[in-house]
Structure 1
Amino acid sequence: MSDSVWSLPLSGTNVAVLADCHIHDGGPQFPAELFPRLQGADLIVTLGDMGDRSGLDQLEQIAPVLGVRGRDDADDIRTRRSELVLTDEGYRIGCVFDAKAVGLASSCDPFVEADGAAEVCRRLFGGPVDVLLHGGTHRADEARFGAKGSALNPGSAVLPAEGAKPTFLRLRVTSEGCYGQIIWVA
């Protein structure tokens, strides 16, 4: 099995998804309001540009952390991959930092699926995904992806795009479905 494919028992799982936080010593830090909102997460998935390891360490005090690398990430085993697929018997969740750069989107803000995205999914994730998680824009977004899936961007809990609110994504996986909800931090 590829290092980028993680089989996890996803049913009944609460996943918190963050991106674009850029945590650095002497620079941006997580807002205090974020940590209580993350309580109850079984897993925290990061989608790149998290910054220094210290940010991942803070998140790992709440739940295990797994993710993909962006342009502004320290070398860390938790985020060493450029793509990640979380799978169990019922769902496949694909994770990338920049969906446009890897060929899944023709635009990321707002998300527009690229022609040929199905082939890119086969190459990156070994097949279609039910949910595509992506970052890189600092703005929360939800769009249709593939025949029956969604593309979800959590935005940024620390440095949202101009005019956007600080956000992250809560993903709930149940036997009835996979549900994403954008959560405002403050």
Structure 2
Amino acid sequence: MKSIVKPVLTIFLCSFLLLGCAGQKISQYANEKPSLDLSEYFSGTVDAYGIFTDRSGAVVKRFTVLIQASWRMVDGKKVGTLDESFEYSDGTKQKRIWTLTEVSPGRYTGKADDVVGEASGSSAGNALNWAYTLALPVDGTIYHVQFDDWMYLVTPKVMINKAQMSKFGIHLGEVTLSFYKR
């Protein structure tokens, strides 16, 4: 028995250490260009084109988004409104209005009617990472799913967004979007 415990414990500890190293960190993008200024990029009209893929990678839905965005100063902080109008490939439409607040340089919070609690985000260089829980309607039932959302500014007008969706830590699918600033 003693001969089994040591290798099992070693494998467990190595696996735990590897999991701690897994995943990207916003700081690794600090020197990437062009630099993302959220209030500059999301100002005016932005178009987005996206797909939702299930856990196998199959495209389940296609959609477009028209975003009207503006920012103002409130109590010395930048506060933005992103008014998003979605149109899905099956003809359904959806509206989401985000209120974003820059709480400190490169750190943001966000709220929307279908976001449970508050989204939190950080930016560095050309990247932004959002984490939030979305109340997602599926066939008449609302599911609370977690999003790990990464945006990368490619050019001053183009940004790519990849969002992993999960529930109870189980990968459900991915949303991929390309944004184009008019």
Structure with higher Rg: it is 2
